[in-house]
A and B are shown apart, each in its own frame.
Chain A
Amino acid sequence: DAKTTQPNSMESNEEEPVHLPCNHSTISGTDYIHWYRQLPSQGPEYVIHGLTSNVNNRMASLAIAEDRKSSTLILHRATLRDAAVYYCILSPGGVQTGANNLFFGTGTRLTVIP
């Protein structure tokens, strides 16, 4: 099963950009890269996902390395509400029944300093 490696914790000052790294050296050519975050006492919340190209949405940007063995979630201006655990997850592409190989890991706990 393709898995990811993330730092246990990171800190950022409020209103500054945050770059959250993720290594996935065993990624296959059809694996999607997903990012979810979990605020305290809540269920995980979708942030962004991509396959090969960099992606932007209203919440964040996803920068994917050319060899796809790493990616970076970019929060352009951290707010106190962004304090959460961020999970980088790989999922097989296409219609498949392999949901049992999805692996959340322990994620990166982001602390935002006022």
Chain B
Amino acid sequence: NAGVTQTPKFQVLKTGQSMTLQCAQDMNHNSMYWYRQDPGMGLRLIYYSASEGTTDKGEVPNGYNVSRLNKREFSLRLESAAPSQTSVYFCASSEAPGGWNTEAFFGQGTRLTVV
């Protein structure tokens, strides 16, 4: 049972480059989330998708776009990477539509460095 799978695990980008972080879950969950975690900090919500076909901004959405491709997949795109986007990115999913009343599962993270 894979749970939440993120690719890639590591990435180095040059300023201005673009890339897409991929996330897939195999638990048939309705809600999916993207967080970033800076050194010594807690997680901050970038975007979330309460159900297939919907997406909403979180606390720190600037510089990012998302796509809920289907129920399984939720991708995060950086159109023009900036050094301030150097962080560890976590994808998560939960069963409840739009809610956190049940257990959420997190991926192992993508460590992104923008130089």
Cβ contact within 8 Å between A100 and B101: no
Interface residue A44 (Cβ < 8 Å from any Cβ of B): yes
Cβ contact within 8 Å between B58 and A42: no
Select which of B33, B40, B98, B104 is within 8 A of A46 by beta carbon. B104
Interface SS of A by simple majority: loop
B interface list, Cβ under 8 A from A: 4, 31, 33, 35, 40-45, 48, 50, 56-59, 90, 92, 96-101, 103-109
* Minimal Cβ-Cβ distance residue in A for B40: A106
Cβ contact within 8 Å between B100 and A102: yes
A side interface size, CB within 8 A: 28
Chain B residues with CB under 8 Å of A45's CB are 106
Cβ contact within 8 Å between A94 and B43: no
Cβ contact within 8 Å between A46 and B45: no
Of A32, A34, A99, A107, chain B has the most CB atoms within 10 Å of the CB of A99
Chain B residues with CB under 8 Å of A46's CB are 103-105
21 CB contacts below 8 A, A to B, read A32-B100, A36-B104, A43-B108, A44-B104, A46-B104, A92-B100, A93-B101, A95-B98, A96-B98, A97-B50, A97-B98, A99-B33, A99-B99, A100-B57, A102-B45, A104-B35, A104-B42, A104-B43, A104-B44, A106-B41, A106-B42
Chain A residues with CB under 8 Å of B99's CB are 91-96, 99
Q: How far is the CA of A34 from the CA of B101 in the complex (A)?
A: 9
A interface list, Cβ under 8 A from B: 32, 34, 36, 41-46, 49, 87, 89, 91-100, 102-107
Select which of B44, B48, B107, B109 is within 8 A of A99 by beta carbon. B48
Cβ contact within 8 Å between A32 and B42: no
* Minimal Cβ-Cβ distance residue in B for A94: B99
Chain A residues with CB under 8 Å of B96's CB are 95
Q: How far is the CA of A100 from the CA of B34 in the complex (A)?
A: 11
Chain B residues with CB under 8 Å of A32's CB are 100-101
Select which of A42, A44, A91, A100 is within 8 A of B43 by beta carbon. A44
Interchain nearest-CB distance for B54 vs A (Å)? 8
